Amino acid sequence: MRLTLIFGAALASALAFPAQAQIAKGDVLVRARAIVVAPNDSSGAVTPGFPGSSVGVTTSYAPEVDFTYMLTNHIGTELILATTKHDVTGGGTLSALDKVASAWVLPPTLTLQYHFMPTKHVRPYLGAGINYTVFYNAKASDSLVTAIGPTKVHLTDSVGYAVQGGIDVDVSKRVFVNLDVKYIDINSTARLTTGGALNQVNVHINPIVAGVGVGIRL
């Protein structure tokens, strides 16, 4: 709520500014955001050992940095950099375990954006692009280890699409506030190796990534 009020105040202030060129070809926009990564998750069963099971992925919060280079007055390309930690929770026949694993997620995403009003102080944009997600430092939970023994966890990398919408609102000639929402297509296969036994599950994560922050035009 506080972030929404700050953004609203900045928007009201920006609307009172006289119009003048704000971004143009060759500009670099650097933003720092606070983001929430909210999965729209679904999965199959953990097979072959756990029929009737499923897994879910928890929401996470983190800082994020992104860079936009303006190819023309209207078209820019944006690269976002952030990493978040998520828990994998058990469902169905695994629900009693609650948390079954955890992993860190590194999802660099490159989008091509169209900025609708580059000469205004309030500048909405839309974008679409590609995401490559790396999962690292994956670990089995204590409850899973207690239930089935020491287990190694590995999640396969993911390549998918990303779409976004956002708005920049000036608070000075170079500084602006930003609101941005993305949908990212992320899918992975989680492999659980316990002794000589291998179980695996296909997970669709597909998060909505919403962020609010500040930026500077270089």
Domains, the chain, with CATH or none: 2-217 (2.40.160.20)
CA atoms of 57 and 135, how far apart (whole Å): 13
Q: Which residue reads 């962020």 in tokens?
A: 211
- Residue 2 has what pLDDT? 53
- Residue 5 has what pLDDT? 54
Cβ-contact 165, 126 below 8 angstroms:
yes
Instruction: Dump pLDDT digits (tens) for 60-113.
Output: 999 999 999 999 999 999 999 999 999 999 999 999 988 999 999 999 999 999
- Residue 22 has what pLDDT? 82
Which H/E stretch holds residue 79?
strand 75-81
Cβ-contact 133, 105 below 8 angstroms:
yes
CA atoms of 211 and 165, how far apart (whole Å): 11
- Residue 8 has what pLDDT? 56
- Residue 34 has what pLDDT? 97
- Residue 173 has what pLDDT? 87
Intervals of the chain under pLDDT 50: 3, 6, 10, 14, 18-19
CB count, 10 Å around CB of 143?
16
CA atoms of 29 and 184, how far apart (whole Å): 22
